[in-house]
Structure 1
Amino acid sequence: MATTHIKRSTSASRLVNYAEKRAVKKDGLNLDIQYAKSEFKQVRDVYGNPGKTQAYASRIAFSPLEFNPQDFHDQATVLAVAKEVYAKAYPNQQVALYEHADTDSLHVHAVIGAINLATGQKMHGNWHQYRDHLVQVTDQVCQEQGLMVTQPDPNRHEKRSMAEIKLRAKQQPTWKDQIRQAVDHTMQNPLIRDFQAFQADLKQQAVKAWERGKNLTYQLLGTNYKSRGTKLGIDYEKETIFNELASRQTQSRTNQQPERAIKATVDSSRTNFNRTTELSRHPNSVSGNSQNVSRSTTATNRTNRSTGQSTISDNLKQLRQQQRQLTGPIKTDLAGFLRRFSKADQPDQPRKSNRAQTNSSRARPKQPTPQPTQQPSEPDHSRDNGPNR
């Protein structure tokens, strides 16, 4: 089982100096391993492509369950397997291989030249692509050689270097552990729902966090210790943090909608109650009218209850009408006779009084004749009392 790693470097010579000191075995691909630094420089000068990136530092580590670091046969086997891996992964690159046996597992450091010998162009892409490509080739070669293929742990959320693993074995915390603990403590707070609140809470724990491209970078305040989230683990990467914060915001909006609806219902009911109370005090209010309507409804019900007596009232009305028809001509003749009789009995008055009365009648303003009010259809008893004057 082999694990791989790769990252870019601005100095190929520095990588060679570090790897060459501890090497128990070394080999090269497309270069002479004894003159690795000079040949790297010669290729850069020939192709005229200096730039900042000169090489890529890579490493392949093998499990101690398969190879013994102190066994010379295992050392040779591991170096041969590593050379085959890099020959398939980067056939047109300069690669210097240095095998180390100073840890519990045999591992090989590789210095990969950035310039492609076939095209003269530098390697283009990012280290994620390079690492995925190197992992695929390594698994293929290990399977062909009968070695165990590395199975990624889906539950592994933290990435630790060998130095961190050793410190953890000694139960000594590292500065990366301090950052992890601070982030864990912040994300346990359900009120942290945006990145600004996330930054503010971390700052109270002496950790600074900011966006850097597609990643998050964390730094212990007052120190130069800083690390990207991709090196701390999956739980500390930008995508994981931002997805969790967005999920909390969505859940918060969903929870607030029923509360707002209940509050609006309560407020509207209170408003309607207050309006009803105020309107009921007004004489022209709907409530007063509703009382009138209820009274009229009650009267109508009473009328409906008395429908059984309608037949008797109709008969009485017909009888009274017949009486008026019979007594009408008699009353008319009697009234005319009485008028003529009263005129004959009245004495003559002098003309002056008649003129005065005439003038006074002219002087008086004309008063509007009162309109007779409609009375219910009851029998007219006034005609029975005598003539009208």
Structure 2
Amino acid sequence: MATTHIKRSTSASRLVNYAEKRAVKKDGLNLDIQYAKSEFKQVRDIYGNPGKTQAYASRIAFSPLEFNPQALHDQATVLAVAKEVYAKAYPNQQVALYEHADTDSLHVHAVIGAINLETGQKMHGNWHQYRDHLVHITDQVCQEHGLMVTQPDPNRHEKRSMAEIKLRAKQQPTWKDQIRQAVDHTMQNPLIRDFQAFQADLKQQAVKVWERGKNLTYQLLGTNYKSRGTKLGIDYEKETIFNELASRQTQSRTNQQPERATKATVDSAQSDPGRTPKLPGHPDSTASHSQNVSRSTTSADRTDRPTSQPTVSDNLKQLRQQQRQLTSPIKTDLTKRLRNVSKADQPDQSGKSDRPQTDPSRTDQKHPDRQSAQQPSEPNHSSNDGPNR
């Protein structure tokens, strides 16, 4: 049973220096293991492919149940199996292999050159793809040699290194455990529904979190201890956290819809005080409706209304007065026009003047009382006094 790991590095020489110090056995693929650092550099200079990534650090660890770290035969077997794995996974890359026996399990460190010897191009992809490819090849080789194949635990939501496992066996907490406990405490709060609230709550627990590409990075405040969510476990990865927060937001919106409908119904009922709260089918609904009608009728017949509110009769008076004001100039103008028409129809008596002549007889007929008032009446002596002298 073997487990694998791979990550990129900006210095191939640093990886070689670390792996070579404690190696009990070593071997190389497409290079001379004694001159691994210089040959890595020569290939980079020949192909002229500069960049930050110079190599990839990988590791294959075997179970102590299958191999004894102190047995020379087991050490040789493990190194041969590891070389076969990397030869199939990266046949065109430079690979330096260093076997370590300083832990409970035999493991092999591999330094993989980033440049392909045939194309001159660097490895393209991400470490997830590289790891999946390496795991697949490792399982095939282990089956061919009759070794157990590592089965992933579907219930395992935390990833722990060997150092963490040892500290936990001694009942000593680690800084990664502090981060896990803080995240667990934050996610137990149902009010945490977005990433900003998630960050703020973790900050109160002395943990800083931020997005870094497809991952989340956690750091204990005041220290240099930081780790990606992928190294803490599935429950602490970006995809898991974001999916849970999105689910909470959807659930919150679903719960708010019936609350808004209920509030709208209550507001509409309060805005119409004359509406009876009882249903039409209720036996008291008819009586309550009649009471409301009688109350409204009685209030309409009251005369002791405030002066600020005009009555219906006052409104009618104002309306009639406005109508009279509007029709008065119209009537006046119509009267003038009729007089002018009547004067234009009279015959011209003088023939010289255009002014219409008044008819005295018509005047007398129209105003007999006015003529009698202007001329004083004289006594008639012809019948009483006889002839005049």
Superposed, 1:199-210 pairs within 5 Å as: 199-210=199-210
Q: Could you tell me how far apart the structure 2 residues matched to 1:31 and 1:274 are?
A: 95
Alpha-carbon shift at residue 255 of structure 1 (Å): 1.6
In the other structure, the counterpart of 2:60 is: 60
Q: Could you tell me how far apart the structure 1 residues matched to 2:86 and 2:213 are?
A: 30
In the other structure, the counterpart of 1:71 is: 71
In the other structure, the counterpart of 2:383 is: none
The CA deviation string for residues 318-349 of structure 1, in whole angstroms up to 9 with x for no partner, is xxxxxxxxxxxxxxxxxxxxxxxxxxxxxxxx
Amino acid at match of 2:11: S
Q: Could you tell me how far apart the structure 2 residues matched to 1:191 and 1:278 are?
A: 47
Superposed, 1:166-245 pairs within 5 Å as: 166-245=166-245
In the other structure, the counterpart of 1:121 is: 121
Q: Could you tell me how far apart the structure 2 residues matched to 1:126 and 1:167 are?
A: 31
> CA distance change for structure 1 residues 61 and 279 in 2, over 3 Å: closer, same or farther?
farther
1:256 and 2:256 correspond:
yes
Alpha-carbon shift at residue 284 of structure 1 (Å): 9.7
RMSD across aligned positions (CA): 2.3
Q: Could you tell me how far apart the structure 2 residues matched to 1:109 and 1:212 are?
A: 27
> CA distance change for structure 1 residues 285 and 212 in 2, over 3 Å: closer, same or farther?
farther
3-state DSSP of counterpart to 1:252: helix
3-state DSSP of counterpart to 2:51: coil
Alpha-carbon shift at residue 181 of structure 1 (Å): 0.5
In the other structure, the counterpart of 2:136 is: 136
Kindly indicate whether the alpha-carbon contact (under 8 Å) linking 1:56 and 1:114 is maintained by their aligned counterparts in 2. Answer: yes
1:109 and 2:109 correspond:
yes
The CA deviation string for residues 65-86 of structure 1, in whole angstroms up to 9 with x for no partner, is 1111111111110000000000
Q: Unmatched 5+ residue regions in structure 2?
A: 277-290, 301-389
Kindly indicate whether the alpha-carbon contact (under 8 Å) linking 2:167 and 2:174 is maintained by their aligned counterparts in 1. Answer: yes
Q: Could you tell me how far apart the structure 2 residues matched to 1:241 and 1:82 are?
A: 36
After TM superposition, the score normalised by the length of structure 2 is 0.71
> CA distance change for structure 1 residues 274 and 209 in 2, over 3 Å: closer, same or farther?
farther
Number of aligned residues? 289
Superposed, 1:22-37 pairs within 5 Å as: 22-37=22-37
Q: Could you tell me how far apart the structure 2 residues matched to 1:129 and 1:285 are?
A: 84
Q: Could you tell me how far apart the structure 1 residues matched to 2:183 and 2:255 are?
A: 26
Q: Could you tell me how far apart the structure 1 residues matched to 2:153 and 2:166 are?
A: 20
The CA deviation string for residues 267-299 of structure 1, in whole angstroms up to 9 with x for no partner, is 32333344579876444999xxxxxxxxxxxxx
The CA deviation string for residues 249-279 of structure 1, in whole angstroms up to 9 with x for no partner, is 1111112222222222223233334457987
In the other structure, the counterpart of 1:5 is: 5
3-state DSSP of counterpart to 1:109: strand
In the other structure, the counterpart of 2:265 is: 265
Superposed, 1:304-323 pairs within 5 Å as: none
The CA deviation string for residues 290-310 of structure 1, in whole angstroms up to 9 with x for no partner, is xxxxxxxxxxxxxxxxxxxxx
Amino acid at match of 1:259: E
Q: Could you tell me how far apart the structure 2 residues matched to 1:190 and 1:110 are?
A: 45
3-state DSSP of counterpart to 1:36: helix
Q: Could you tell me how far apart the structure 1 residues matched to 2:59 and 2:171 are?
A: 27
Alpha-carbon shift at residue 159 of structure 1 (Å): 1.2
Kindly indicate whether the alpha-carbon contact (under 8 Å) linking 1:217 and 1:227 is maintained by their aligned counterparts in 2. Answer: yes
Kindly indicate whether the alpha-carbon contact (under 8 Å) linking 1:208 and 1:220 is maintained by their aligned counterparts in 2. Answer: yes
Alpha-carbon shift at residue 150 of structure 1 (Å): 0.8
Alpha-carbon shift at residue 212 of structure 1 (Å): 1.4
1:49 and 2:49 correspond:
yes
Superposed, 1:358-373 pairs within 5 Å as: none
In the other structure, the counterpart of 1:302 is: none
Amino acid at match of 2:14: R
Percent identical among aligned pairs is 92
In the other structure, the counterpart of 1:308 is: none
Q: Please identify which structure carries the higher helix content.
A: 1
Q: Could you tell me how far apart the structure 2 residues matched to 1:54 and 1:170 are?
A: 39
The CA deviation string for residues 185-238 of structure 1, in whole angstroms up to 9 with x for no partner, is 000011111111111100100011111111111111111111111111110111
Amino acid at match of 1:197: A
Q: Is 269-278 or 244-253 further displaced after alignment?
A: 269-278
Kindly indicate whether the alpha-carbon contact (under 8 Å) linking 2:27 and 2:96 is maintained by their aligned counterparts in 1. Answer: yes
The CA deviation string for residues 72-110 of structure 1, in whole angstroms up to 9 with x for no partner, is 111110000000000000000000000000000000000
Kindly indicate whether the alpha-carbon contact (under 8 Å) linking 1:116 and 1:123 is maintained by their aligned counterparts in 2. Answer: yes
> CA distance change for structure 1 residues 272 and 87 in 2, over 3 Å: closer, same or farther?
same
In the other structure, the counterpart of 1:328 is: none
> CA distance change for structure 1 residues 69 and 271 in 2, over 3 Å: closer, same or farther?
same
Kindly indicate whether the alpha-carbon contact (under 8 Å) linking 1:279 and 1:285 is maintained by their aligned counterparts in 2. Answer: no
